[in-house]
Amino acid sequence: MAVAMLATTATLAAPARADATTDAFLDILGNAGVTYADPAATTSLGEAVCPMLVQPGKSFASVASAVGDNGISPDMAAFFTGIAISMYCPSMMSSLANGSLLDSLQNPGLVPGR
């Protein structure tokens, strides 16, 4: 499976940084058979998922759709979004599962950069 990253991705996301989480994120994608041309752009898109998720009116589906706007199929965008959440804001996984995502807005510390 290939993930196409557009140049606009870098303008939408926080700058990528090399760390254990980033390495693990890229490894998980690679182990799942996801290929990408630009690790920095892929990482930036992954890091952008959590801040997008806590914007007013956003949901998993709307964030996955925004990820898909980067040239990724809908199924792959949903997969990518789930992996990004599990790596960059894992505490939000239970909020997504039980429908209490809005509760996380009350605790900005759950999302990196907030």
**16 φ/ψ sector (left φ>0, alpha ψ -120 to 50, else beta):** beta
- In a domain, residue 87? The reply is yes
- In a domain, residue 90? The reply is yes
pTM of the model: 0.70
Give dist(CA 11, CA 2) in Å, integer.
Answer: 21
Digits of tens for pLDDT over the chain (114 positions)?
Answer: 445 443 334 334 444 445 899 999 999 999 988 888 999 999 999 999 999 998 998 889 999 999 999 888 999 999 999 999 999 999 888 777 666 554 444 444 444 444
- In a domain, residue 43? The reply is yes
- In a domain, residue 69? The reply is yes
Domain count, the chain: 1
Residue-range definition of the domain harbouring residue 92: 2-8+18-109
- In a domain, residue 114? The reply is no
- In a domain, residue 51? The reply is yes
- In a domain, residue 27? The reply is yes
- In a domain, residue 13? The reply is no
